Amino acid sequence: MYTAFMTTPERLIEATQELLWERGYVGTSPKAIQQAAGAGQGSMYHHFAGKPDLALAAIRRTAEQLRAAAEASLGSGGPARARIEAYLLREREVLRGCPLGRLTMDPEVMASEELRAPVDETIDWLRGRLAGIIQEGLDSGELVGPLDPVEVAATIVATVQGGYVLSRAAGSPAAFDTAVRGLLALLSPRPA
């Protein structure tokens, strides 16, 4: 997890990212963060004003990483459907769920405009990015309508997030895979 070259703030942020994903904000204590990062209380409070400040840095980092992973598929060029398929089929830790989606279930994150902002911004970015690709597919004739790009983008995001939930509930990634295959079938051109 950590390398010898990581600074204390980097170790604290990375440990917080993992703990937020695993336990959520409420279940992540400063002591757990310090233990996971191998940092003392003084180090944590030297670099961050407190748990909310450190959590915000970790949530922002997670959001950046998720955007980069999505963009690697969505920005790869090529046909719209192929880019959406690459995004949907990319490697994921399905049984762990989405690290940002997990935070939407945390009442303290949702109650804090500051902590919630990177989550909202990332989901909005993803929906907008997907809607743009769907519009490209419609414009080129690759995707056939009537499709509303905004609605289809919201459906893609909902399918991914719902797939995580169903897979976690079942203890198997099969539910995620089934949802993705079903969505891709709906995006396939229909024979005339």
Range(s) of the domain holding residue 127: 8-186
Asked if residue 88 is part of any domain, the answer here is yes
Predicted pLDDT at 47? 87
DSSP-derived secondary structure letter, 191: P
Number of domains in the chain: 1
Predicted pLDDT at 191? 54
Predicted pLDDT at 189? 66
pLDDT tens, per residue, the chain with 192 residues: 555 578 889 999 999 999 999 999 999 999 999 999 988 888 888 888 889 999 999 999 999 999 999 999 999 889 999 999 999 999 999 999 999 999 999 999 999 999 999 999 999 999 999 999 999 999 999 988 789 999 999 999 999 999 999 999 999 999 999 999 999 998 886 555
DSSP-derived secondary structure letter, 172: S
Asked if residue 117 is part of any domain, the answer here is yes
Question: At a CB cut-off of 8 Å and minimum separation 6, what does 136 contact?
Answer: 80
Predicted pLDDT at 144? 85
Region of 24 (left: φ > 0; alpha: ψ -120 to 50; beta: rest) is left
Residue 73: how many other CB atoms lie within 10 Å: 16
Asked if residue 15 is part of any domain, the answer here is yes
Asked if residue 2 is part of any domain, the answer here is no
Q: What is the CATH number of the domain that holds 71?
A: 1.10.357.10
Cβ atoms of 165 and 97 within 8 Å: the answer is: yes
Predicted pLDDT at 41? 80
Structure tokens at 66: 């998720």
- Please give the full DSSP string across 26-90, using - where no structure is assigned: TT--HHHHHHHHT--HHHHHHHSSSHHHHHHHHHHHHHHHHHHHHHHHHTS-S-HHHHHHHHHHS
Asked if residue 105 is part of any domain, the answer here is yes
